[in-house]
Chain A
Amino acid sequence: DSGVTQTPKHLITATGQRVTLRCSPRSGDLSVYWYQQSLDQGLQFLIQYYNGEERAKGNILERFSAQQFPDLHSELNLSSLELGDSALYFCASSVDPAPYGYTFGSGTRLTVV
């Protein structure tokens, strides 16, 4: 157990729907990063939050949004889902804003049908 908790583990939904993925960082970590992993794109950075504030942004679609709450857990919202959004979504956490030694959760597998 890495200490980073992601729920749900699996999610199957239809095109056009909206889903929310949840991540609880490791105890003491203030940074949360979201990554998308697909077979053809590898691990793609989506967004980072540090202590509640957006810190860095990657190739995140406008249909996707995220936030980090006061208790430091984070949610990734995916809307108007398309077949191509099917992927593994990982979150990772670290103590400070730098990506030094950060720890991944076990991921959420999203399948859009």
Chain B
Amino acid sequence: GENVEQHPSTLSVQEGDSAVIKCTYSDSASNYFPWYKQELGKGPQLIIDIRSNVGEKKDQRIAVTLNKTAKHFSLHITETQPEDSAVYFCAASPLYGGATNKLIFGTGTLLAVQP
């Protein structure tokens, strides 16, 4: 079945450094790739997403890159700040896939930004 692998499971960086989280998906029909941030005691919050017709997307300090051939996509956070500390989830889905119309999530990365 569909599967999304996410690495690393934990990541510790110094404030101001960059952080990179990588995901691999199995369903070649996937064409939508969002990233969610989950803080303690809260629900996941969408922070950025990308569709398969785009190779890269940036929003201030965060960026996502997509390699459809290799079925890889990555989240890049630059100039990390302590408030970036959270669990980050990648996900993949075909859009308008009917019965397959659901996000498949990676297992999450716990990012700790050390002051």
Contacts and interface: CB of A to CB of B under 8 A. Distances in A.
Interface of A: 2, 4, 33, 42-43, 45, 48, 55-58, 90, 92, 97-107
A103 B46 CA distance: 7
Given A42-B108, A98-B95, A99-B95, A2 B43 contact: yes
A105 B93 CA distance: 20
A57 B100 CA distance: 8
A101 B49 contact: yes
B6 to A, nearest CB: 9
9 contacts: A33-B103, A42-B105, A45-B102, A56-B98, A56-B102, A101-B46, A103-B46, A104-B43, A104-B45
Q: Which 9 A-B pairs have the closest CB atoms?
A: A104-B43, A43-B105, A45-B102, A56-B101, A98-B95, A42-B107, A99-B103, A106-B43, A104-B44
B31 to A, nearest CB: 10
Nearest to A98: B95
A56 B96 contact: no
Given A42-B106, A99-B93, A103-B46, 18 more contacts: A4-B43, A33-B102, A42-B89, A43-B89, A43-B108, A48-B102, A55-B101, A56-B102, A57-B99, A90-B44, A98-B32, A98-B101, A99-B102, A100-B32, A100-B49, A100-B95, A101-B34, A104-B44
Contacts of A101: 34, 46, 49
Nearest to B103: A99
Nearest to A45: B102
Nearest to A55: B101
B66 interface: no
Interface of B: 32, 34, 36, 41-46, 49, 89, 93, 95-96, 98-108
B43 A105 contact: yes
B46 A102 contact: yes
